[in-house]
Amino acid sequence: MTKIYDISQTIRPGIPVWPGDSEFTLDRTWNIEPGCPVNVSQIAMSTHTGSHADSRLHFDEKGVDCADTPLDAYMGPATLIDLSAEVPSGGLVKPHHLEALLPEKVDRVLIKLFKAFPHDGWKPDFPAVSADAIRLLSSRGCKLIGLDVPSLDPQESKTLDAHFAVDAAGMAILEGLVLDDVPPGDYELIALPLKIQGADGSPVRAVLRSMK
């Protein structure tokens, strides 16, 4: 029987965000009461809150925004690889970590790097991905990379080598996924960014569906 895995963070007050970025807030603006039949709320948050997609505008002033980002990469077959025991905190995913685990052709790759996702705190020394690893994925036909860490690049990176390697390869990016309870293997991914004009990123409701 088909199984669905929700690999999204729960967006909530107190959700960890990139240091200095906007905290998430939700405020009730209408309440069910005499004369008002509905509850309505307003939210404020960063475009990179929780599980999210980066648009090209995030790291390139001439890049497309979320509204104009093609959607095909965010739906379809995906291979999940667990490197949480191979890449240490502060380390980088290198080609040799991937070569033996990747099929010759792969559409989308999700990489688990946290042994346990840090729902309650920020981990500044999270593992990241090398530009060479991105190029290897591209050579295998990969059109999307997804990670459970906050960024492809280390927190203190100013050159964003992995992001620009993704850009050169025409790949899509998902960050901040929750992969703790998903066995490595092949799945169907659905993780669509919102159609927000001018946005450099968007939260997603990311799910994996088993192939059998």
**Average of per-residue pLDDT values in the chain:** 97
When pLDDT is cut at 50, 70 and 90, the band that residue 1 belongs to is: confident
For residue 165, being part of any structural domain is answered with: yes
Instruction: Using the predicted structure, report yes or no on whether residue 212 has a pLDDT greater than 80.
Output: no
Question: Torsions phi, psi of 148, nearest 5?
Answer: -90, -5
> What are 74's two structure tokens?
């965010």
For residue 193, being part of any structural domain is answered with: yes
* β-bridge partners, 6: 207
Rounded CA-CA distance 60/62 in Å is: 5
- Encode pLDDT of 153-190 as tens digits: 999 999 999 999 999 999 999 999 999 999 999 999 99
Instruction: Using the predicted structure, report yes or no on whether residue 197 has a pLDDT greater than 90.
Output: yes
Instruction: Please report the pLDDT score of residue 150 as a whole number.
Output: 98
Domain enclosing residue 159, as ranges: 4-9+47-210
For residue 201, being part of any structural domain is answered with: yes
For residue 119, being part of any structural domain is answered with: yes
- Name the pTM for this structure: 0.96
For residue 21, being part of any structural domain is answered with: no
Number of domains making up the chain: 1
The CATH number assigned to the domain holding 157 equals 3.50.30.50
At residue 20, the 3 state secondary structure works out as coil
- Encode pLDDT of 15-59 as tens digits: 999 999 999 999 999 999 999 999 999 999 999 999 999 999 999
For residue 20, being part of any structural domain is answered with: no
Neighbouring CB atoms inside 10 A of 185's CB total 14
| DSSP letter assigned to residue 94 | -
How far from 91 is each of 32, 42, 123, 154, 161, CA to CA, in Å? 51, 39, 13, 9, 14
Closest Cα to residue 149, out of 175, 184, 183? 175
Of 48, 52, 58, 163, which one is the catalytic site residue?
58
Rounded CA-CA distance 59/82 in Å is: 27
Maximal C-alpha separation, the chain: 64
For residue 154, being part of any structural domain is answered with: yes
In 5-110, alpha helices (H): 95-98
Q: In the block, which residue shows the tokens 């927190």?
A: 155
In 38-58, which positions are buried (b, 16+ CB within 10 angstroms) versus exposed (e)?
Answer: eeeeeeebbbbbbbbbbbbbb
Instruction: Please report the pLDDT score of residue 4 as a whole number.
Output: 97
For residue 33, being part of any structural domain is answered with: no
For residue 48, indicate whether it is catalytic.
Answer: no
